[in-house]
């Protein structure tokens, strides 16, 4: 027997061995649980967890003429113009040649944005829905940090783009449900400390005394103690932050006898001096300046000690505060109402995994039964079943190698591959065995060529039909299309011709 004639069979065997090595985990066999038995990645359907898909909320004005303006001035002008926006909702970035971009991260209309820019005499190009790639990148980084800090391990954050050019952030978190994930990402997590007090004329005033950039390090959540009667997070301020804090409070009456301990319901609102912890614009905690901290500020010692505490009403509130302080604020909020949320419980996913395996095996038995009954010859039918199976094994090996996360849609793809695969093998077998015995190699070759034309043609049409779906971002359909196309390619190039070689070898034995 000539090795060159059977090169396809050899390639098939090599690929099979390689795939088995990839799928079967190295090291001692684990008997403990069923899900560690194969070295494959599983997606949401088969591992359990939450997938959340949402665009970032915002509008971007491009090519804005920044001549004679600076970023801060533009941001403040826009905040004043709209009235309901906070500073973190607006971002002006100067680029090259005096041109820059302005982003507004809020649910305004494009028309209002345009009017605002016209009002401020800012020349600009188009206003587009969405945010800049820089903002997207930073958002993804911050989201990753939030998941790291929260202990929701194994979370992945990616971006995807639709054919219309809209970007989506895709978050996948194994083992956690939708509300746990949503709690972390539904807010931007911008933490501010705002001083609320009556000014000299008695008018109620708010001044931002600390933002996230004024905080240098964040400690762990502390239980209520003697000095601080609620859950709190100790932080250290930056030097400039501490000086700003000290100066603002001192000059606005917080350290005076009227100010200290005045944030209490026993005083009328116009007399209160409160230090508010504000999360995304909502006051989460209001506190007075304690007499101890007032002494430190009067003595001017805060700038050297820099110690401060952020308080919250309960432990979970404090944990969330700590998380947002450590991870930072999302540059742009996720528009959760314009996306999708999917959750599969880990127990259901485990069931799906087992069921998929069973469904696959039973389907293969059904195929095997039919081909055995139809051909009656083990020589024809057995290699057929083995070849079809090997296509699935090689595809599994390939998925393992590229780290593809298997979902139910891929299982459907595998079954499609078995189906078309066996169809093609039937064409080869019928064609080769048609019209009596194969007396010469030439007759075999001719018949095989005809069969191969049909298989190749069918494969081309299947690939043409499925390739749009492999490109479009259509969730589940993409995985199905990719697996089916790969399976068809593998089949036409390697396994199905190899079956022809095996068949020739076995039939010639007679």
Partner 1 sequence: MFEFDVESFDFRKYSNRQLICIPLTLMLLSVLILSGWYFFTGSPVNPGIEFTGGAELLLISDNGIEPIRTTFGSSSHSIRSIVTRENAYIVNFQTSLINPEQLESMAIDSGFEVLSVQSTSPSFGAETQRLALIGLVAAFVGMATVVFILFRKIVPSVAVVLSALGDILVPLAIMNLLGIQLSLGTLAALLMLIGYSVDSDILLTNHILKRKGNFYDSLYRAMKTGLTMTLTSFSAIMVMTITAFLFGVDLLTSIGIVLIFGLIVDILNTYLLNVSLLRWYVGEKQ
Tell which positions 179-208 bind partner 1, by CB under 8 A: 179, 182
Q: What angle do CA 160, 161, 165 make, to 5 degrees?
A: 160
Tell me the closest approach of the beta carbon of residue 120 to partner 1, in angstroms: 31
Query: Interface with partner 1 includes 160 (CB under 8 A)?
Result: no
Stretch that binds partner 1, among 94-102, 212-220, 254-262, 355-363 (CB under 8 A): 355-363
- In three-state form (DSSP H/G/I as H, E/B as E, the rest C), the secondary structure along 343-400 is EECHHHHHHHHHHHHHHHHHHHHHHHHHHHHHHCCHHHHHHHHHHHHHHHHHHHHHHH
Token readout for 454 is: 């049909």
Query: What is the Cα–Cα distance from 113 to 57, expressed in whole angstroms?
Result: 14
- Our CB check for partner 1 shows the closer of 121 and 164 to be 164
Q: Does 336 bind partner 1 (CB under 8 A)?
A: yes
Could you give the string, one character per residue 470-489, with x where binding to partner 1 holds by CB under 8 A and - elsewhere? --xxxxxx--xx--x-----
Q: What is the smallest separation between the CB atom of 257 and partner 1, expressed in angstroms? A: 47
Site for partner 1 in 6-65 (CB under 8 A): 45, 53
CB of 51 to partner 1, least distance (A): 10
Q: Does 379 engage in binding with partner 1 (CB under 8 A)?
A: no
How many residues contact partner 1, by CB under 8 A? 82
| Smallest distance, partner 1 to C-beta of residue 383, A | 15
Q: Nearest distance from residue 82's CB to partner 1, in Å?
A: 24
User: Could you say whether residue 161 binds partner 1 (CB under 8 A)?
Assistant: no
Shortest distance in whole angstroms from residue 489 CB to partner 1: 13
Pick 94 or 474: Cβ nearer partner 1 = 474
Name residues contacting partner 1, limited to 229-288 (CB under 8 A): none
Told to check if 350 binds partner 1 by CB under 8 A, we report: no
**Closer CB to partner 1, residue 235 or residue 381?**
381
Q: How far apart are the first and last CA of the chain?
A: 15
Q: How far is the CB of 78 from partner 1 (least distance, A)?
A: 26
Task: Name 380's Cβ contacts closer than 8 Å, sequence gap at least 6.
Answer: 371, 429, 433, 503, 506
Q: How far is the CA of 458 from the CAs of 389, 417, 431, 447, 468, in angstroms?
A: 20, 13, 15, 17, 17
If one asks whether residue 175 binds partner 1 (CB under 8 A), the answer comes out as no
Provide DSSP, 172-228: EEET--HHHHHHHHSS---EEEEEEEE-TTS-EEEEEEE-GGGEEEE---B---SS-
Phi-psi region of 279 (alpha: psi -120 to 50; beta: other; left: phi over 0): beta
Site for partner 1 in 432-471 (CB under 8 A): 434, 450, 453-454, 457-458, 460-462, 464-469
How far is residue 190's CA from residue 184's CA, in Å, rounded to a whole number? 12
| 298-320 burial code (b ≥16 CB/10 A, e <16) | eeeebbeebebbbbbeeeebbbb
Query: For residues 72 and 366, which CB has a smaller minimum distance to partner 1 in the complex?
Result: 366
Span interacting with partner 1, options 77-85, 259-267, 275-283, 335-343, rule CB under 8 A:
335-343
The token pair at 274 is 């409160």
Nearer to partner 1, 43 or 259 (CB): 43
Asked if 503 touches partner 1 (CB under 8 A), the answer is no
Give least dist CB 333 to partner 1, A: 15
């Amino acid at each position: 027997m000539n090795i060159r004639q059977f090169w396809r069979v050899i390639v098939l065997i090599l690929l099979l061995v390689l795939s088995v090595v990839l799928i079967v985990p190295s090291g001692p066999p684990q008997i403990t649980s069923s899900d560690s038995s194969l070295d494959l990645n599983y997606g949401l359907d088969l591992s359990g967890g939450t997938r959340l898909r949402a665009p970032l909320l915002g509008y971007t004005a491009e090519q804005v003429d920044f001549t004679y303006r600076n970023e801060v001035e533009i941001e403040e002008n826009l905040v004043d113009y709209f009235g309901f926006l906070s500073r973190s909702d607006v971002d002006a970035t100067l680029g090259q040649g005096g041109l820059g971009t302005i982003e507004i991260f809020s649910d305004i209309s494009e028309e209002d944005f345009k009017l605002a820019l016209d009002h401020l005499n800012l020349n600009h190009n188009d206003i587009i829905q969405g945010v800049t790639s820089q903002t997207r990148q930073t958002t993804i980084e911050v989201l990753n940090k939030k998941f790291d800090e929260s202990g929701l391990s194994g979370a992945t954050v990616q971006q995807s783009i639709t054919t219309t050019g809209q970007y989506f952030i895709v978050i996948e978190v194994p083992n956690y449900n939708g509300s746990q994930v949503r709690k972390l990402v539904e807010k931007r997590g911008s933490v501010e400390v705002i001083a609320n007090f009556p000014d000299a004329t008695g008018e109620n005033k708010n001044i931002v005394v600390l933002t996230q950039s004024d905080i240098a390090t964040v400690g762990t959540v502390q239980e209520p103690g003697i000095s601080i009667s609620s859950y709190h997070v100790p932080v250290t301020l930056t030097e400039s932050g501490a000086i700003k804090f000290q100066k603002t409070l001192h000059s606005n009456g917080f350290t005076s006898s009227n100010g200290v301990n005045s944030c209490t319901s026993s005083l009328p609102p116009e007399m209160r001096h409160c230090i508010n912890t504000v999360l995304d614009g909502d006051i989460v905690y209001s506190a007075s300046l304690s007499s101890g901290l007032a002494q430190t500020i009067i003595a001017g010692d805060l700038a050297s000690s820099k110690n401060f505490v952020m308080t919250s009403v309960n432990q979970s509130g404090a944990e969330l505060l700590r998380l947002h302080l450590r991870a930072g604020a999302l540059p742009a909020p996720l528009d959760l109402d314009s996306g999708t949320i999917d959750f599969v419980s880990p127990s259901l996913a485990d069931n799906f995994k087992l069921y998929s395996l069973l469904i696959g095996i039973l389907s293969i038995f059904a195929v095997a039964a039919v081909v055995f009954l139809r051909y009656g010859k083990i020589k024809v039918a057995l290699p057929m079943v083995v070849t079809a199976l090997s296509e699935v094994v090689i595809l599994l090996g390939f998925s393992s190698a590229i780290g593809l996360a298997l979902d139910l849609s891929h299982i459907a793809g595998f079954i499609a591959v078995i189906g078309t695969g066996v169809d093609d093998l039937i064409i080869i077998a019928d064609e080769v065995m048609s019209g009596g015995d194969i007396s010469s190699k030439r007759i075999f070759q001719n018949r095989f060529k005809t069969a191969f034309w049909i298989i190749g043609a069918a494969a081309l049409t299947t690939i043409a039909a499925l390739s749009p779906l492999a490109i479009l971002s259509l969730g589940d359909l993409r995985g199905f299309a990719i697996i089916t196309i790969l399976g068809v390619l593998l089949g036409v190039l390697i396994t199905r011709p190899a079956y022809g070689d095996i068949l020739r070898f076995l039939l010639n034995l007679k």
